[in-house]
Amino acid sequence: MADVLRAESLSKRFGTHTALNSLNLGVASGEIVCMLGANGAGKTTTINLFLGFLEPSDGKALIDGTNVQSDTTAARKLLGYVPEQVALYPSLTGLENLEYFMRLSGAPNISEPHLRSLLDKVGLDQAAATKPVQDYSKGMRQKVGLAIALGKNAKALLLDEPLSGLDPKAANEFCALLRVLANEGKAVLMATHDLFRAREISDKIVIMKSGNMVASLESAALDNASLEKIYLQHMHDPDTLLEAAS
Amino acid sequence: MISYIIKKEAMEVSRDGRTRLLAIVMLLLGLTGLLAGWANYADQQRNALFAQEDDQTVFLDQGERNPHSAAHFGRMAYKPASPLASFDPGAAPFMGQVIWLEAHQRNPAMFRPAADSLELGRLSNFSVAGILTVLLPLLVFLLGYSALAGEREHGTLRQTLTAGTSTGKLFAAKYIVIASTGIALAAVTIIASAVMALFSPVALSATDTLVRALGLTAFYAVYVLALTGFALLVSALCKQSRTALLVLLGIWAVAVMVLPRVGASVAAQTFPIPDGAQVWSELRADIASNRVAPDSAEYKAAEQFVVSRALGRDVSLAELATMDLNASGLRLEVTEVLDYAVLNNFYADIYDRYAGQRDVRRWFALLSPAIALQHASSAFAGTDFVAHQHFSDVAEVQRNNIVRVMNEDLLLNGAGATTYLAGENFWEEVPEFTYQFPPVSLAWRSAAFDILLLLLWGAIATALAWTVTRNRLTV
């Protein structure tokens, strides 16, 4: 199956510092790929390159065949993006935020029943939908962010640490929803620090270090312990490795 | 797509309590200022009308009297307040309201409200134009400081751009909403001022009022556009909205509060206007130096001109020598004719100094659009020094007419009489003083350069804001 998200020799340098070094990565429709790695490994740089907020130094980022650099606006219309902190307009309600971002993306159906059904799908309480988002918890904001991505009918979802700060129940709900979306055909690329959650929901895990992709693993072939061991081996932290082995 | 962004921006603005409060305060201040100004200037207009009628009655009822004595008794020319003075009093409170029209002298206007007010009283005379000039920047800066910096700071810029819109559309929508809010507020007060002006005791024509109101709305709109450009420029440049707010408040303090005062002070130092005592001593000196000997050719030519004009036919010098005329009347009118040019040149020089002051302030307008707006606004309200000069010149023509009628009566009818008295009905021959406000074309001419400056401010601030936003606004 053709990759919806595709990085071809994608590189990004800031002066002499290489933030991403010749990344080759594909995410197919219906597939969830999780990027693991320490801070500064290149995960967010990869996402920013796919979003068109950074220009690649070499290589290219493609979304459903559209080169992000040459046609950024068109490429962005194919993407849903959920950052660590979903940024919404605080004086607007969840419903109004959803409507606004869907209108910007040119979504065809912006009727209130459809908007409410989207919020329902991501598990946002109907009563909360008409409250200003300044009163929302982080989990509620993440849900609206996901609803925005859903409403765009995006072909691919980019998620940058979306589980950070969520309570376990909210994180579980979020992951379950991601799986549903992938099953509906979305290509999902998620950057996360949560190894075990990544293993649970992903089809593939890539480990990044210092701008390089150092491992690409099939999630089905891993258990939590083996994933942690591999991850720590790549991180080259002998003490932690010793502790994990014991 | 831009309409959705505009709708969202408008929704945010309407839900922002600080903006609502400032807009309401501005509107209340503006309308209070307008009502207070209207009551004050309508009263002034009524007083001027009443005083002018009273002056006419007193003049007509003076009975038998020597015409030259009546010319010294004089008439008063009362300047009616411009109907739009309640919106922008401009220089009117500093220019005087009444001119005494008497023989031999072209007097400056008396009774300057600003000079007659106590310092604290002046503070309470806030005008709608003053409120708009000072508070519109605050409103626009409050709406705009976080427009781009805040979006970047809170991450909504990234979210918005990811949704598939462009920086250009985002900029345009924010520009439209911020500018529209400021323009709407200015337009409401200007329209209210124009409607009230139509109901003033001395009103302009509806067409004239409409053209002036449209002009004022356009100038305040361009001012708001320049301010909006500034707000977005600073917001795009600053990483944090708090920094942007501080920078904009600094700009406001310097451009709106400090520079207009510094500009006025430097202008007054560069082109000082003589005070009353100086006026009299300089005028006397000028007149004395201009006097010609009664046997000079210039004096004889003036005599020939005066008598020919009085009789309505050409009189030769030879015939003049044989005519039976009142010598005192002839001498008085000849002196008037010879002094006209001196008096007019003297006042032209004073008004040139006012123009010089305006030119100095225009240099400061290169640093502050508020100064260019003040000039254009007072010109279209009919309250700048050019409008006052128009009144002063019309009053001087009236003075010339009065003195001429008096002197010619003495000249032609007082021959041989030791004490000539004009009849009690003679005074009706003196035309009544009526003043028509200058046409709006005078305001266009007076403020053309300031309008150009305002337009430049609007265009440059907007272009800079857009260029910086396009090139430097990053997530």
What number is the average pLDDT over the span B43-52?
83
Cβ neighbours of B12 in A, within 8 Å: 89, 91-92
Lowest mean per-residue pLDDT among A154-158, A208-212, B121-125, B138-142: B121-125
Mutation target among B20, B159, B166 for the A interface, most CBs of A within 10 A:
B159
The predicted structure's pLDDT at residue B65: 87
Alpha carbon distance A151, A110 (integer Å): 9
**Dihedral sign, CA of B141, B147, B148, B151?**
positive
Alpha carbon distance B391, B341 (integer Å): 18
Which residue's structure tokens are 């220009």?
Answer: A55
Cβ neighbours of B9 in A, within 8 Å: none
Q: Does A51 touch chain B (CB under 8 A)?
A: yes
What number is the average pLDDT over the span A180-200?
92
Compute the nearest-CA separation of A186 from chain B (Å): 17
Residue B472, judged by CB atoms within 10 A of its CB (0-12, 13-18, 19+), counts as exposed
Residue ranges with strand state E in A15-56: 17-28, 32-36
Residue ranges with strand state E in B55-212: 75-78, 98-102, 105-106
Q: Does A22 touch chain B (CB under 8 A)?
A: no
Q: Say yes or no to pLDDT of A203 above 90.
A: yes
* pTM (predicted TM-score): 0.85
What are the backbone dihedrals phi and psi of residue A93, each rounded to the nearest 5 degrees, phi first?
A: -75, 170
The predicted structure's pLDDT at residue B113: 67
Cβ neighbours of B172 in A, within 8 Å: none
For residue A103, the number of C-alpha atoms closer than 13 Å in the C-beta half-sphere is 16
At A103-137, the pLDDT tens digits run 998 888 889 999 999 998 888 888 999 999 999 99
The predicted structure's pLDDT at residue A245: 47
Which residue's structure tokens are 């009117």?
Answer: B92
Cβ neighbours of A51 in B, within 8 Å: 158, 162
Contact at CB, A88 and B156, closer than 8 angstroms = yes
Mutation target among B12, B162, B165 for the A interface, most CBs of A within 10 A:
B162
Compute the nearest-CA separation of B7 from chain A (Å): 9
Alpha carbon distance B164, B169 (integer Å): 11
Structural contact between residues B383 and B89, judged by C-beta atoms closer than 8 angstroms:
yes
Contact at CB, B158 and A83, closer than 8 angstroms = yes
**Residue-averaged pLDDT of chain B:** 89
Contact at CB, B161 and A53, closer than 8 angstroms = yes
Choose the closest CB to B162 out of A81, A100, A106.
A81
- As a whole number of Å, the end-to-end CA separation of chain A is 41
Contact at CB, B4 and A87, closer than 8 angstroms = no
Contacts with B110 (C-beta within 8 Å, 6 or more apart), sequence order = B96, B97, B98, B99, B100
Cβ neighbours of A83 in B, within 8 Å: 155, 158-159
Q: Which of B288, B159, B170, B275 is nearest to B232 (CA)?
A: B170
Compute the nearest-CA separation of A1 from chain B (Å): 26
What are the backbone dihedrals phi and psi of residue B316, each rounded to the nearest 5 degrees, phi first?
A: -80, 165
Contacts with B276 (C-beta within 8 Å, 6 or more apart), sequence order = B108
DSSP letters of B341-368? Answer: HHHHHHHHHHHHHHHHHHHHHHHHHTT-
At B376-390, the pLDDT tens digits run 999 999 999 999 999
Mutation target among A48, A101, A130 for the B interface, most CBs of B within 10 A:
A101
Q: How far is CA A171 from CA A110, A127, B196, in A?
A: 28, 21, 64
Q: Say yes or no to pLDDT of B123 above 60.
A: no
Choose the closest CB to A87 out of B5, B155, B166.
B155
Structural contact between residues B211 and B226, judged by C-beta atoms closer than 8 angstroms:
no
Structural contact between residues A33 and A202, judged by C-beta atoms closer than 8 angstroms:
yes
Alpha carbon distance B9, B13 (integer Å): 6
Q: Which two tokens stand for residue A133?
A: 């988002």
Q: Say yes or no to pLDDT of A101 above 50.
A: yes
The interface predicted TM-score of the complex, written ipTM, equals 0.84
Contact at CB, B160 and A104, closer than 8 angstroms = yes
User: A237 pLDDT band (50/70/90 cuts)?
Assistant: low
- The greatest distance separating any two alpha carbons of chain A, rounded to the nearest whole angstrom, comes to 57
Nearest chain B Cα to A47, which residue? B162
Q: Say yes or no to pLDDT of B417 above 80.
A: no
Choose the closest CB to A104 out of B4, B11, B158.
B4
The predicted structure's pLDDT at residue A239: 54
DSSP state, B89?
-
At B263-309, the pLDDT tens digits run 999 999 999 988 878 888 888 888 888 888 888 999 999 999 999 99
The predicted structure's pLDDT at residue B451: 97
The predicted structure's pLDDT at residue A243: 53
Compute the nearest-CA separation of A218 from chain B (Å): 30
Alpha carbon distance B2, B395 (integer Å): 57
The predicted structure's pLDDT at residue A246: 47
In B82-166, which ranges are continuous DSSP H helix?
A: 92-95, 113-116, 119-124, 128-144, 149-154, 156-162
Cβ neighbours of B475 in A, within 8 Å: 53
Cβ neighbours of A53 in B, within 8 Å: 158, 161, 474-475
Contact at CB, B155 and A83, closer than 8 angstroms = yes
Strand-pairing partners, residue A93, are A132
Choose the closest CB to A53 out of B16, B160, B475.
B475
Query: Which contiguous run of DSSP H or E holds residue A67?
Result: strand A66-67
Nearest chain A Cα to B162, which residue? A76
Q: Say yes or no to pLDDT of B252 above 90.
A: yes
| DSSP-based helix, strand, coil % in chain A, nearest 5 | 40, 25, 30
Q: Does A85 touch chain B (CB under 8 A)?
A: yes
The predicted structure's pLDDT at residue A149: 85
**Residues from B in contact with A at Cβ < 8 Å:** 1, 4-5, 8, 11-12, 15-16, 154-156, 158-166, 474-475
Compute the nearest-CA separation of A105 from chain B (Å): 5
Higher pLDDT, A155 or B203: A155
Alpha carbon distance A120, A146 (integer Å): 11
Choose the closest CB to A51 out of B12, B16, B162.
B162
Contact at CB, A92 and B11, closer than 8 angstroms = yes
Choose the closest CB to A89 out of B12, B162, B475.
B12
Q: Does A135 touch chain B (CB under 8 A)?
A: no
Q: Is B255 helix (H, G, I), strand (E, B) or coil?
A: helix
Q: Say yes or no to pLDDT of B116 above 80.
A: no
Alpha carbon distance A202, B255 (integer Å): 59
Cβ neighbours of B155 in A, within 8 Å: 83, 85, 87
The predicted structure's pLDDT at residue B122: 45
Q: Which two tokens stand for residue A105?
A: 């993306």
Region class of B109: left (phi > 0), else alpha (psi between -120 and 50), else beta: beta
